[in-house]
């Protein structure tokens, strides 16, 4: 039987809210009911927006909700830290290796040019389609460039990437040379999300990835990286997004939905857990329940609403 390892991987750019906790709770519920291990990974690779105080606050809020983790910040594990800003050398070694092997190439395109390309009609994806402008520059042409390049992974041939989503079934997408050559390191040296996440999922031995529907199309690129790195692929499950009554995705910009706000308003952890289970379709109506009670008495399979792409919350 597979040893289940999941991860909750928030970015500490603000106080966590109901949308974040929705993903955290469903990760936690599945993990606890499968006697697995949950990794709390802090995705603070964007240092311009991430704050240590938010990382500390989210751990306090998860603890208050009764959502514990098995590996997290401050731990010393075989794969290193669970904080991305402490794992930069791993990502950079990967990029340097790919440079030497010719698996990545420098891209000197400006943001304006990339935006113009991205504005052209193409299939809807998380990553913008590229036109291969810098793919085959000669060494002399590269030397004449006057700006630092970003680095794109080179898709050598058209490849069909597939996976089975626990909630949505089979999914397939073709990755094509040039247009699907995606950035793994920005011109300022910041590692791209796709690379960091893939490196971490592989190195940490993550077997199941539960995350929002908005990241569905990223999966194909992450599969390509995991294969390139020689890691086994995890099982994916893309959860419906929580939306307000106007059809807007819940975000920290909306009033009163952070866990801090709700705690200050006197809402209990049990009330929040009950709402999450109701939205998931596991309860006919919201009722206060502890996370521990849910893990022992409400099977993950009872969460019948999870095959939807979004859930309207009130």
Q: What percent of the chain has pLDDT over 70?
A: 95
Sign for the CA dihedral angle at 240, 193, 30, 66 comes to negative
What local confidence, expressed as pLDDT, does residue 103 receive?
97
- As a whole number of angstroms, the distance between CA 176 and CA 133 comes to 15
Confidence check: pLDDT of 232 > 80: yes
- As a whole number of angstroms, the distance between CA 8 and CA 67 comes to 11
What local confidence, expressed as pLDDT, does residue 129 receive?
85
Average confidence (pLDDT) over 105-112:
93
Average confidence (pLDDT) over 160-165:
96
User: Which contiguous run of DSSP H or E holds residue 159?
Assistant: strand 159-165
Write the CB contacts of 105 (distance below 8 Å, at least 6 apart in sequence). 134, 135, 137, 151, 152, 154, 181
Confidence check: pLDDT of 247 > 80: yes
pLDDT range class, residue 255, cuts 50, 70, 90: low
DSSP secondary-structure letter at 120? S
The model's pLDDT over 128-143, given as tens digits with 9 standing for 90+, comes to 789 999 999 999 999 8
The model's pLDDT over 168-202, given as tens digits with 9 standing for 90+, comes to 999 999 999 999 999 999 999 999 999 999 999 99
Confidence check: pLDDT of 105 > 50: yes
* Entry pTM: 0.93
Helix, strand, coil content of the chain in percent (nearest 5): 35, 20, 45
Domain architecture of the chain: domains with CATH: 5-85+240-312 (3.40.50.620)
- As a whole number of angstroms, the distance between CA 274 and CA 156 comes to 49
Between the alpha carbon of residue 39 and those of residues 10, 89, 133, the distances in Å are 11, 20, 40
Confidence check: pLDDT of 204 > 60: yes
- As a whole number of angstroms, the distance between CA 70 and CA 206 comes to 13
The model's pLDDT over 14-39, given as tens digits with 9 standing for 90+, comes to 999 999 999 999 999 999 999 999 99
What local confidence, expressed as pLDDT, does residue 252 receive?
67
What local confidence, expressed as pLDDT, does residue 253 receive?
67
SS3 state at 246: coil
For tokens 């106007």, the residue is 246
Confidence check: pLDDT of 119 > 70: no
Q: Which of 120, 205, 111 is nearest to 149 (CA)?
A: 111
Structure-model confidence comparison of residues 263 and 257, the more confident one? 263
Report residue 249: phi and psi, to 5°: -65, 135
The rounded Cα 70 to chain-centroid distance in angstroms is 19
Average pLDDT, the chain: 94
Whether 189 and 196 have beta carbons less than 8 Å apart is answered as no
Whether 178 and 130 have beta carbons less than 8 Å apart is answered as yes
Q: Around Cβ 55, how many Cβ atoms within 10 Å? A: 21
What local confidence, expressed as pLDDT, does residue 197 receive?
98
What local confidence, expressed as pLDDT, does residue 125 receive?
47
Average confidence (pLDDT) over 41-53:
96
Average confidence (pLDDT) over 243-251:
88
What local confidence, expressed as pLDDT, does residue 123 receive?
46
Average confidence (pLDDT) over 58-82:
98
- As a whole number of angstroms, the distance between CA 175 and CA 193 comes to 18
Confidence check: pLDDT of 246 > 70: yes
Whether 185 and 210 have beta carbons less than 8 Å apart is answered as no
């Amino acid at each position: 039987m597979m040893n289940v390892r999941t991860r909750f991987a928030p970015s500490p750019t603000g106080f966590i809210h109901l949308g974040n906790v929705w993903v955290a709770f469903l990760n936690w519920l599945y993990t606890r009911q499968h006697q697995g291990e949950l990794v709390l990974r802090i995705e603070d690779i964007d240092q311009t927006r991430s704050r240590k105080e938010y990382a500390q606050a989210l751990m306090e809020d998860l603890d208050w909700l009764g959502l514990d983790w098995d590996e997290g910040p401050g731990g010393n594990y075989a794969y290193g830290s669970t904080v991305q800003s402490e794992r930069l050398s791993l990502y950079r070694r990967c990029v340097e290796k790919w440079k030497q092997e010719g698996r990545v190439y420098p891209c000197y395109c400006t943001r304006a040019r990339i935006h113009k390309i991205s504005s052209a009609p193409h299939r809807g994806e998380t990553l913008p389609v590229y036109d291969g402008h810098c793919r085959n520059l000669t060494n002399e042409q590269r030397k004449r460039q006057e700006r630092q390049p970003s680095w794109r992974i080179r898709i050598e041939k058209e490849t069909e990437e597939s996976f089975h989503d626990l909630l949505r079934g089979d999914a397939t997408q073709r990755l094509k040379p040039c247009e699907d050559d995606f950035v793994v390191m920005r011109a300022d040296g910041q590692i791209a999300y796709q690379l960091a996440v893939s490196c971490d999922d592989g190195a940490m031995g993550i077997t199941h990835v539960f995350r929002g529907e908005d990241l569905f199309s990223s999966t194909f690129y992450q599969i390509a990286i995991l294969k390139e790195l020689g890691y086994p692929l995890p099982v994916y499950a893309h959860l419906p997004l929580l939306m307000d009554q106007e059809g807007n995705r819940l975000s920290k910009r909306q009033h009163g939905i952070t866990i801090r706000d709700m705690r200050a308003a006197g809402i209990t952890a049990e009330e929040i857990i009950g709402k999450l289970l109701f939205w998931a379709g596991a309860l006919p109506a919201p009722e206060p329940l502890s996370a521990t009670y849910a893990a022992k008495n409400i099977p993950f399979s009872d969460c019948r609403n999870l095959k939807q792409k979004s859930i309207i919350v009130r």
